[in-house]
Chain A
Amino acid sequence: MWRDNLRCIYYIALKDMRTYYLKPPSVSWGVVFPVAWILAFYLRNPRSFEELVPGLIAMTILFSTTAAEAVVINFELRLSSLERLLLAPVSLPAVLLGKVLGGAIFGFMMTTVMTIGSVLIIGLHPNLLYLVLIIIPSLLVFSSLGALLCVLVKEVFEAQTLLNLPRFLMIFLSGVIYPVSAMPVVLQYLAYVMPLTYTVRGLRDSFSVSSDIKVFTDTLVLTGFFLLFIFSAIKLLHKKFQ
């Protein structure tokens, strides 16, 4: 049974890569939008751009994964193709994990380009192990958050609109642009219930030489968010098909 599930997770993710990665909503929200933001910040102040790199990588993870989920899930909900996957001899969690993996791989491709680009152009020296420990769980967290919200609606445009609420809230409150420590105390509390805060903090630690590193804590917290989102999404999808 577990072998069937693993096989399906792999083939669903592979099929989604071939089928959906070049769809306009994936490209506009998952590629063009983060690139436009990065260019805007760079052109505004190239000298202090280095400080913004961790936040902008985090934003790339957030937008690319959630944009891909809206496409891989809502295109199939609209055309009833998701039902076709559920007719196969696999469990529903395996189908959803295949979808989450598809979004995470898209995010990984975008994040890799952004990270390598920053490292080469600006000449940064990040800790590779820390980067992996933060980026991988973050990709899964935001991909599963995307899946959770996307199964609530049917159309891709509805999903993108719904996703914008947590996306922009997190961008402004999770330290992407403005440090969390400089925000009012109430907003700081709010920031720490948002997964992007831990991604940004972990990425900052990966790029810094400070001794006060919390990468492992951030990885644990992000894993917790992933489990919370994926189990909630599985429960919602179960309910939708009952």
Chain B
Amino acid sequence: MNKDIIIAVSDLTKSYDEILAVDHISFEVKKSEIFGFLGPNGAGKTTTIRMLTGLSKPTDGKASVLGFDVDSEIVEAKRCIGVVPETSNLYDELSALDNLLFMAQLYGVPRTQRRKRAEELLKIFGLYERKDSHFRTFSRGMKRALTIAAALIHNPEILFLDEPTVGLDVVAARSLRNLISNLRQQGITVFLTTHYLEEADLLCDRIAILVKGRIVKIDTPEVLKAVAKEESVIEVSFNGKVSELIEDLSNRLTNVKIVAVDNNKARIYGGISNQIYDCVFSLAKDKNMEIQFINSIKPSLEDAFLKITGLSPMVMVIEKGGK
């Protein structure tokens, strides 16, 4: 086996009765990279993490973590991995320090090193001043940070992060992304799931796009974005609802794909730029609407996602529970 490949997955499948949650996926994760699993909710990201970390048995296929088979040698694999689940599930009744000490006991960190390691992590994650505060008193961002610290207590080689920034405000999410980014410098391999395109673009060395349990593409963010570079992308914003204009625009333009980005904004993929500009201006005049801006844009991962999956990036905004 190639020593640089530390997660190897082949034809991994998970079904629950009639539902196929993960459908014969295969991929490899290299040492010290941040590997992203990107997909809408229900795509099978968490199910994959659960199989790789021993919380769920695969229905079919093979997977190994650090050379240990996840089916037959999962306990050995668990010694070298840290897992941050989607919910911050440390103990409300224990202090930040006690939570980390308990995790150190559970993972067999030598007695003499437990406190030192716990305090070191509390300092790295900016929680040292609150080390004696109960977990329940922490903000969401602090809870998330402590949950990541807990997963690092035994110096794992791989860290699994399931939707690390879900539910966090912008500032907390940014600070957490910086912390995740720093893990790479410490040589830790990160396997991260997210449904935030921007997060995957910012953090990941390679991204696997997962839709309905199947991997549709794996590559670096740059290569994925290049897929969308081949055609022009024009973004236009009106002072009214864009949904009412999409049909009109589609009728006036040929060989283009128009997608609403939000209530006022749309993106037009493909076509000839000059014709698109003319058409948009004439439509705005006919409908007596104001154009707030119109611009040719550099393709983003959102555009690549649209082109590769055929899904609107809006599906990625839907949180669990359909909200």
Residue positions of A touching B, CB distance < 8 A: 1, 4, 7-8, 11-12, 15, 18-20, 79-81, 83-91, 241-242
Contact = CB atoms under 8 A, between A and B. Distances in A.
Contacts of B76: 89
B107 A88 contact: yes
A85 B56 CA distance: 14
Contacts, number: 58
A228 to B, nearest CB: 25
A11 B102 contact: yes
B150 to A, nearest CB: 8
Interface residues on B, range: 20 to 34
Interface of B: 53-57, 75-76, 78-79, 83, 85, 87, 89-94, 102, 105-108
Given A81-B90, A87-B83, A4 B108 contact: yes
Q: For A8, A84, A241, which residue has the most chain B Cβ atoms within 10 angstroms? A: A84
Given A79-B89, A81-B91, A89 B102 contact: no
* A interface: dominant SS: helix
The B contact surface, by secondary structure, is loop
A19 B105 CA distance: 16
B55 A19 contact: no
Contact of B87 (A11, A80, A89): A80
B75 A89 contact: yes
Contacts of B83: 87
Contacts of A8: 106
Contacts of B54: 86-87
Contact of A1 (B75, B93, B94): B75
B53 A87 contact: yes
Contacts of A87: 53-55, 78, 83
A197 B102 CA distance: 39
A15 B78 contact: no
B90 A89 contact: no
30 contacts: A4-B75, A7-B105, A7-B108, A8-B106, A11-B102, A11-B105, A19-B93, A19-B94, A79-B89, A79-B92, A80-B85, A80-B87, A81-B91, A83-B85, A83-B89, A84-B90, A85-B106, A86-B54, A86-B55, A87-B54, A87-B55, A87-B83, A88-B78, A88-B106, A88-B107, A89-B107, A89-B108, A241-B56, A242-B56, A242-B57
